[in-house]
A and B are shown apart, each in its own frame.
Chain A
Amino acid sequence: MKIAIRTDNLDDLLKAKAKYGDKALILAGGTDVNVKRNRGLIGPEVIISISGITDMKGIVPEKGKLVIGSLSTHSDIENDAAVKRRAFPLHMSCAAIGSPQIRNTGTLGGNIGTASPAGDTLPSLVLLDSIINVMSIRGTRKIKAAKFFTGPGKTVLEKDEIIYSVEVPLGYTSSNSGFFKLGMRDALAISVLSVAWYFDKNGTVGLSFGGVSPVVKRILVKQGLSETAFRKKVSGIISPIDDIRAGAGFRRGVVTDIAFKVYRDGGI
């Protein structure tokens, strides 16, 4: 590291990001970046610590949606009544992350920016058609979550852009939507696979899948498909790999079984 910047001012952040581009790594909650730094796995030239920027915190209701500042912690989101009542899959995603300590520091923006295929909030954000608001000194862009991620650790962010906030549409309750994560332990677990879902009034079922392809995949299907047809649809969009947590075949089988049970029974 050659330069360390700490700011509580959004303009300063945007200027710094414009100047240093992808040499600069943004430090939000630090639950990912500092793990890698402590282990000597990364050594960015510039670190910009942004946890003091109040503009990027808070969960604000707007018409039909919630606008969640990217520096909101997973605990903030998990404990937010509106999220729990009307954006239930995201509530479940945040509650499934790591541990209380991690949820108290890790942020939504960090989870998005890290863009891990196992990122716990991503299936819910993609499922609900959330909008990611990004910002640079050039201006702002609205990007659909489904278009935001391009590969493991890769996003469409330009090198001067930062994740400012996320717009999450409402109307998803614990009775018409959900999220399920399979980890190999009940706390402090990295997702092996995850499924988020909703059932809308028009008979459409939305399902998204984490951990079984380089980026989260989503399908929208009508209710009433045969089991074979449904399984084929799911199987067709995922491309799991073997890693130290589980094999590709296991992931494919289990995620399809879970998806079908959700599709048939309305939940898990």
Chain B
Amino acid sequence: MKHYSSVGKNVKRYDAEEKVKGTSVFTDDLNFPGTLYAGVYRSPESCGRIKKINTVKAAKIPGVRAVMTAKDIPGRNIVPVVFDDQPLLAEKYVRYHREPLAIVAADDRNTLKKALKAIECDIEETEGVFTIRESLKKKRIVNGLYKDNIFQQYVVEKGDVKKAFAGAFLTVKNSYSTNYQEHAYLEPQSMLVKPELNGIFSVFGSMQCPFYVQDAVSAVLGIGLANVSVHLMSTGGGFGGKEDVPSIVAAVAALLSHRTGRPVKYILDRDEDISVMSKRHPSYIEYESAFSKNGKLLGVRTDYYLDAGAYSTLSPIVLWRGVIHAVGPYECPAVSIKGYAVATNKVPCGAYRGFGTPQIIFASETQMDIAAEKLGIDPVRIRELNAFKKGSETATGQVLKESIGIRKTIDAAVSRCDIGKTRSEIASFNKKQRYKKRGLGISCLFYGVGLGARGGPLQKGGAFVSVFKDGTVQFSVGTAEMGQGMYTVLGQIVSESFGINPSAVLPQRVSTEKVGDSGPTVASRATFISGNALLIACDKIKSSLLSFMLSEKMIRKASDVKFEKGYVYTGGKKKIPFTELSSKAWAGRVKMAEYGWYLPQGTSFDIRTGRGDAYVVYSYATNIAIVEVDMLTYRTKVLKLISAEEFGKVVNPLLAEGQIQGGNAQGIGWSLYENMVVKNGKILTDDFSTYLIPSILDIGQIEPVIVEEPYKGGPWGAKGMGEMPLMGIAPSIGNAIYDATGTRLKKVPFTPEDICNGHKSK
């Protein structure tokens, strides 16, 4: 096994010191003289025809510098994502509550508020479509572009499903549903746009995808992409919520900046942010599984519906990922998976950590438990029986060749939990306690790393590396740091390559000016894609250094050379410090600044049959939740959550554990606390006192377990991992609640009310 000096170590975050000191610059901390404040006037109705928008009064208020509606947009009135069906500002119809109608720039926040209050609209309200069920009836059409109210559908077919079900010992059929999830990043959406000389606009903001923002600003202003420079500020959390929607925020600020010639800042209030920004899709799932007597999964039939909201945004690809992962990390010879992204008159849903998989994993992993009980097989055993191994085939027919850690994660979670002992402790606790009941639940999952075959032209990434004459190194990538620790992980990958201390390697703030369009920072892809691109650049530089050393007769042959511990070994024990080599190479005019470009290879997907090698590689996880349900209040507390995760080689264990703990906490939130209430398309839980994310008192003991199964195609063996820790938490908790109370919950979140009703109906 390779010995690493930097990879695998808990290297301190590059940005930690500025963050603990409060000096890290977030968008709202940025100030330019003459900056105006932007705001959006939004539709009071969920659905209707716009008859009039009156902005005259608002425009006359002193201190108001610009008021604009759709007709004032110099470029295209769109939010570019996949199908480009969403206008930035509604023109003829409103299709969801608080859809943007007009935008305002004012000298200060108070004037802005006054101006927004002074705008009036006349909307002829029509009856909206608010549920998947209503939408599928097709009585009312949300958007004329989609006559059947379906934005996108997929099928994945494999084997003879009819035969599998006919010959099964046991079939299990259930319906499941899940509610929204709001990202609740602590920093609200924020953008600042500043006009520069020569028709260039600088965009500073909080985002995951600088290149999406560049696209959006260029589209609405009708200017070239070269006229838009996007710079990433410290970004206060994303979780998918800053994938596509920052494009809207930036476009608003850019239009007003373009109109006024002034810098314009647009920071969303929390209620506005919760009401209008993207969320995890609510879902409805029908799921049918067939098993043999000894617990082998023989077939899966499922219809998976996502409530997409009023525009398609990212739904086509969110749905795709859900469909691909619908069976879980199990061999299954026969599958029929159908997925639908359905239009409704509600806020458009989009990316959220897990991207269409947590909903379907909730269904599939609950099915597993139900089947295990009916077959009299231990829930751990039934998963082991079916889990992928080398040579297994996924639902899409992809044959798995390497780095398949699912079994390792099951073993690791079970042994960390000491499951036999824990179960007997739970049993004796439950015998003694009348008002408190404990239970244990398990879930397994897999996750395709990166965008996969549906990522198309976005499956790429660039990096720039520059070695200076003093041996320090600077690098740039096109993916974003939003708190996950990407800068640090990538710095470790670079320092490992040169065999130098990570403190000699510094990231540059991400900007569209530094590397080419590298696609989005999503799909747990930053380490994998940018890491590989960086290594390509590093290798180019190292190769130039080798040529230089050969020509200078510092070495005899290139294969003698090793970059380690700050030195370059030039044969046997001979070595020179990396700093010295850098200085010599500089004097020798060696090219020590290189560009790397990485393209993941070999993904495919046949849209008609759903067959193909969907992703280059997969990561794996097993969760065990231990819960306590209070039988007086029906509230559930997670006492302990064990997440064993396999994502290749771990680059920074401390950061990886932070990702696991944070993802687990969001999973606990979605499962137990976060209950979005929507009435006639209007979100009623639009603040943190009604939309409840877990506080420090609501998180039990969280124990991450990292399992390694290095992947040859990853940077130093790493895969991706950011999303997995959230994805399977709901079924582990749901299965634990069943274990504790005997109430089987098929709706997320698991509210006290639902547990109470389940309990009383028994």
Report which residue of B113, B635, B687 has the largest number of chain A beta carbons within 10 angstroms of its beta carbon: B635
The reply on A221 being an interface residue by CB < 8 A is no
What CA separation (Å) do A190 and B695 show in the bound complex?
13
Q: Which of A40, A254, A268 meets B634, CB within 8 Å?
A: A254
What CA separation (Å) do A188 and B184 show in the bound complex?
15
Q: Which of A182, A184, A246 meets B692, CB within 8 Å?
A: A184
Query: Number of B residues whose C-beta is below 8 Å from A?
Result: 27
The reply on A257 being an interface residue by CB < 8 A is yes
Chain B 737-762 per-residue mask, 1 if CB under 8 angstroms from chain A, else 0: 00000000000000011001000100
Given contacts A184-B673, A185-B673, A187-B696, contact A247 B685 (CB under 8 A): no
Q: CB-CB < 8 A to A253: which residues of B?
A: 756, 760
Q: CB-CB < 8 A to A244: which residues of B?
A: 677, 684-685, 690
Q: CB-CB < 8 A to B756: which residues of A?
A: 250, 253-254
Given contacts A39-B271, A185-B673, A250-B756, contact A257 B632 (CB under 8 A): yes
What CA separation (Å) do A39 and B690 show in the bound complex?
14
The reply on B601 being an interface residue by CB < 8 A is no
- How far apart are B269's CB and chain A's nearest CB, in angstroms? 8
- How far apart are A202's CB and chain B's nearest CB, in angstroms? 28
Q: CB-CB < 8 A to B694: which residues of A?
A: 185
Chain B 678-711 per-residue mask, 1 if CB under 8 angstroms from chain A, else 0: 0000001101111010111110000000000000
The reply on A186 being an interface residue by CB < 8 A is yes
- How far apart are A37's CB and chain B's nearest CB, in angstroms? 11
**Would you call A254 and B113 a contact (CB within 8 A)?**
no
**Would you call B632 and A246 a contact (CB within 8 A)?**
no
Given contacts A187-B695, A250-B753, A250-B756, contact A258 B689 (CB under 8 A): no
The reply on A189 being an interface residue by CB < 8 A is yes
Given contacts A246-B753, A250-B752, contact A189 B692 (CB under 8 A): yes
Q: CB-CB < 8 A to A254: which residues of B?
A: 632-634, 752, 756
- How far apart are A32's CB and chain B's nearest CB, in angstroms? 11
- How far apart are A59's CB and chain B's nearest CB, in angstroms? 27
The reply on A147 being an interface residue by CB < 8 A is no
Chain A 229-264 per-residue mask, 1 if CB under 8 angstroms from chain B, else 0: 000000000000000111100100110011001000
Helix, strand, loop or mixed for chain A's interface? Answer: loop
Interface residues of A in 94-118 (CB under 8 A from B): none
Q: Which of B435, B634, B677, B695 meets A186, CB within 8 Å?
A: B695
Interface residues of B in 647-701 (CB under 8 A from A): 673, 675, 677, 684-685, 687-690, 692, 694-698
What CA separation (Å) do A163 and B687 show in the bound complex?
30
Chain B 214-255 per-residue mask, 1 if CB under 8 angstroms from chain A, else 0: 000000000000000000000000000000000000000000
Q: CB-CB < 8 A to B688: which residues of A?
A: 188
- How far apart are B681's CB and chain A's nearest CB, in angstroms? 15
Q: CB-CB < 8 A to A184: which residues of B?
A: 635, 673, 675, 692, 752
**Would you call A182 and B635 a contact (CB within 8 A)?**
yes
Given contacts A188-B689, A190-B689, contact A258 B271 (CB under 8 A): no
Q: CB-CB < 8 A to B271: which residues of A?
A: 39
Interface residues of A in 161-185 (CB under 8 A from B): 182, 184-185
- How far apart are B505's CB and chain A's nearest CB, in angstroms? 40
Q: CB-CB < 8 A to A187: which residues of B?
A: 695-698
Chain A 199-220 per-residue mask, 1 if CB under 8 angstroms from chain B, else 0: 0000000000000000000000
What CA separation (Å) do A245 and B694 show in the bound complex?
15
CB closest chain-A residue, reference B117: A40
Q: CB-CB < 8 A to A185: which residues of B?
A: 673, 692, 694-695, 697-698
- How far apart are B54's CB and chain A's nearest CB, in angstroms? 20
Report which residue of A185, A257, A258 has the largest number of chain B beta carbons within 10 angstroms of its beta carbon: A185
Q: Which B positions have Cβ atoms within 8 angstroms of A?
A: 113, 269, 271, 435, 632-635, 673, 675, 677, 684-685, 687-690, 692, 694-698, 752-753, 756, 760
A–B complex contacts, Cβ < 8 Å, 25 sampled: A182-B635, A184-B635, A184-B673, A185-B694, A185-B695, A185-B698, A186-B695, A187-B695, A187-B696, A188-B689, A188-B695, A190-B690, A244-B690, A245-B690, A246-B752, A247-B753, A250-B752, A250-B753, A250-B756, A254-B632, A254-B634, A257-B632, A258-B632, A261-B435, A261-B632
